[in-house]
Chains A and B, each alone.
Chain A
Amino acid sequence: VKPPRFDYVAPASVEEALPLLGEAGTVLAGGQSLVPMMNLRLANPELVVDINKLAELDYIGAADGRLRLGAMTRQATLERSELVRERWPLLHKAVRFVGHPQIRTRGTVGGSVAHADPAAELCTALIALGARVHLRSKGGARAVEASDFLLGPLYTMREPDELLVEIEVPEQPDGAGAGFAERARTHGDFATAGAAAVVAPDGRAGVALLGARPAPARAEAAERALADGASPREAAALAATGVEDEHRRALCTELARLAIEEALA
Chain B
Amino acid sequence: LSGRLVGRPVLRREDERILRGNTRYLDDIDPPGAAQVAFVRSPFAHARIGGIEVPEGLEGAVRVITAGDVQGLVDDLPVQSIEGGSVSDDGHPVLARDEVRYAGQPVAAVLADTRAIAEDAAGAIEVDYEPLDPVLDARASNVRMSHWHRVGGDVESVFTSAAHVVRASHALPRLAPVPMEPRGAIASYDEADDLLTVWVSAQDSHRQLAGLAAVLGRPEDSIHVIVPDVGGAFGSKGAPAPETMLVAAAAMLTGRTVKWTEDREENFVASYQGRGMEAEVELALDAEATIVGVRARVWADLGGYLMPTTAIPPHTTAMLMCGVYDIQAADVEVFGMRTNKVPTGPYRGAGRPEAAYFLECTVDIAARELRMDPLELRRRNLIRDFPYRTVLGWTYDSGDYARCLERAEELIRPERSDDGERVIGTGFGMYVERAGGQFETADAELLPTGRLLVRSGSSPHGQGHDTTFAQIAADRFGVGLDDVEFRFGDSREVPRGVGTFASRSVAMGASAVAQAVDALRAKCEAVADRLGGGPSLADVAEAEPGLRASARFESDLVFSSGAYGAVVEIERATGRPRVLRLVAVDDAGVIVNPLLAEGQVIGGSAQGLGECLVEEATYDDEGNPTFASFIGYSLLTAAEMPELLTEFVESPSPLNPLGAKGIGEGGAIGTPPAVSNAVADALGGIRLDPPFSEDKLWRALREPGA
A interacts with B: yes
Chain B hits for A40, CB < 8 A: 265, 629
| Closest B residue, CB atoms, query A193 | B574
Query: Roughly how many angstroms separate A190 CA and B632 CA in the complex, as a whole number?
Result: 10
Binds A, one of B75-83, B115-123, B243-251, B450-458: B115-123
**Cβ-defined contact, B634 with A187, below 8 A:** no
Count chain A residues whose beta carbon lies closer than 8 angstroms to a beta carbon of B: 21
**Cβ-defined contact, A3 with B637, below 8 A:** no
| Closest B residue, CB atoms, query A245 | B695
Binary A-proximity of B603-644 (CB < 8 A = 1, otherwise 0): 000000000011000000000000001010011110110000
| Closest B residue, CB atoms, query A254 | B573
Pick the contact of A186: B116, B123, B634, B695 (CB < 8 A). B634
**Cβ-defined contact, A186 with B637, below 8 A:** yes
Q: B261 CB to closest chain A CB, in angstroms?
A: 11
Asked whether A250 is an interface residue with its Cβ less than 8 Å from the other chain, the reply is: yes
Asked whether B128 is an interface residue with its Cβ less than 8 Å from the other chain, the reply is: no
**Cβ-defined contact, A183 with B637, below 8 A:** no
Asked whether A251 is an interface residue with its Cβ less than 8 Å from the other chain, the reply is: yes
Query: Roughly how many angstroms separate A253 CA and B573 CA in the complex, as a whole number?
Result: 9
**Cβ-defined contact, B575 with A247, below 8 A:** yes
Pick the contact of A189: B119, B634, B694 (CB < 8 A). B634
Chain B hits for A253, CB < 8 A: 573
**Cβ-defined contact, A187 with B694, below 8 A:** no
Query: Roughly how many angstroms separate A41 CA and B576 CA in the complex, as a whole number?
Result: 35
**Cβ-defined contact, B574 with A187, below 8 A:** no
**Cβ-defined contact, A251 with B635, below 8 A:** no
Asked whether B486 is an interface residue with its Cβ less than 8 Å from the other chain, the reply is: no
Asked whether A2 is an interface residue with its Cβ less than 8 Å from the other chain, the reply is: yes
**Cβ-defined contact, B265 with A3, below 8 A:** no
Asked whether A142 is an interface residue with its Cβ less than 8 Å from the other chain, the reply is: no
| Closest B residue, CB atoms, query A184 | B634
**Cβ-defined contact, A187 with B120, below 8 A:** no
Count chain B residues whose beta carbon lies closer than 8 angstroms to a beta carbon of A: 27
**Cβ-defined contact, A183 with B694, below 8 A:** yes
**Cβ-defined contact, A247 with B694, below 8 A:** yes
Query: Roughly how many angstroms separate A192 CA and B575 CA in the complex, as a whole number?
Result: 13
Asked whether B699 is an interface residue with its Cβ less than 8 Å from the other chain, the reply is: yes
Binary B-proximity of A160-200 (CB < 8 A = 1, otherwise 0): 00000000000000000000000101111110100000000
Main secondary structure of the interface of A (DSSP, over half): loop
**Cβ-defined contact, A251 with B631, below 8 A:** no
**Cβ-defined contact, B640 with A187, below 8 A:** yes
Asked whether B190 is an interface residue with its Cβ less than 8 Å from the other chain, the reply is: no
- Take A1-B265, A4-B120 as given contacts and tell me if A251 and B639 are in contact as well, using a CB distance cutoff of 8 Å: no
* Interface residues in A115-133 (C-beta closer than 8 Å to B): none
Asked whether B263 is an interface residue with its Cβ less than 8 Å from the other chain, the reply is: yes
| Closest B residue, CB atoms, query A255 | B574
Q: A168 CB to closest chain B CB, in angstroms?
A: 31
- Take A2-B116, A5-B120, A187-B637 as given contacts and tell me if A247 and B699 are in contact as well, using a CB distance cutoff of 8 Å: yes
Pick the contact of B116: A3, A185, A247, A248 (CB < 8 A). A3
**Cβ-defined contact, A186 with B640, below 8 A:** yes
Q: B691 CB to closest chain A CB, in angstroms?
A: 9
**Cβ-defined contact, B614 with A185, below 8 A:** yes
**Cβ-defined contact, A188 with B637, below 8 A:** yes
Query: Roughly how many angstroms separate A188 CA and B640 CA in the complex, as a whole number?
Result: 11
Q: B616 CB to closest chain A CB, in angstroms?
A: 11
* Interface residues in A211-265 (C-beta closer than 8 Å to B): 247-248, 250-251, 253-254
Asked whether B698 is an interface residue with its Cβ less than 8 Å from the other chain, the reply is: yes
Asked whether B523 is an interface residue with its Cβ less than 8 Å from the other chain, the reply is: no
Pick the contact of A183: B114, B576, B634, B636 (CB < 8 A). B576
**Cβ-defined contact, A2 with B119, below 8 A:** yes
Query: Roughly how many angstroms separate A244 CA and B613 CA in the complex, as a whole number?
Result: 24
Pick the contact of A1: B264, B613, B636, B694 (CB < 8 A). B264
Query: Roughly how many angstroms separate A207 CA and B695 CA in the complex, as a whole number?
Result: 24
Q: A183 CB to closest chain B CB, in angstroms?
A: 7
**Cβ-defined contact, A187 with B631, below 8 A:** no
| Closest A residue, CB atoms, query B263 | A1
| Closest A residue, CB atoms, query B636 | A186
Binary A-proximity of B116-143 (CB < 8 A = 1, otherwise 0): 1001100100000000000000000000
| Closest A residue, CB atoms, query B610 | A186
Can you list 16 A-B pairs, Cβ within 8 angstroms, ordered by A? A1-B264, A1-B265, A2-B116, A4-B116, A183-B574, A185-B634, A186-B614, A186-B639, A188-B637, A188-B639, A192-B694, A247-B575, A250-B574, A251-B574, A251-B698, A254-B574
